[in-house]
Amino acid sequence: MFPGLGGRGMNPRKVKQMMKQMGINIEEIENIEQVIIRCTDKEIVFDDAEISIMDAQGSKTYQLTGTPVERPRAVVVSNEDIQLVVDQTGVTPDAAAAALKEVDGDLVEAILKLSA
């Protein structure tokens, strides 16, 4: 965190006291079950997450440590989209939902795929 302060003979309590004098407070978040970072195409999941909040004069910084596991983000298809595909193609709602998921929610591509 601060080079030269932590591991070379400095007492951790003294480091914490010095940081507090500089207006820096560090707090651990307890009882974390899981942290998920959602991106447009994937999720990064931490099941063993530890989070520290560093408050430096009102500006908070969150530090996340743990073992990340990446997984593709599941496509969420709305009922309105499913109904639109059903109305345009005459297929069942299950077939419409499957087609939408297969084409990552693209309505036009799902309709064309089911109409062919």
DSSP-derived secondary structure for 21-69: HTTEEEEEEPS---EEEE-SSEEEEESS-EEEEEEETTEEEEEEES-EE
Phi and psi of 10, rounded to 5°? -85, 135
7 pLDDT above the threshold of 60: no
CATH ID of 79-115, from 3.10.450, 3.80.10, 1.10.8, 1.10.10: 1.10.8
| pTM across the whole model | 0.58
CATH T-level assignment (fold) for domain 25-72: Ubiquitin Ligase Nedd4; Chain: W; (2.20.70)
| Banded pLDDT at 14 (limits 50, 70, 90) | confident
- Average pLDDT over the chain reads 88
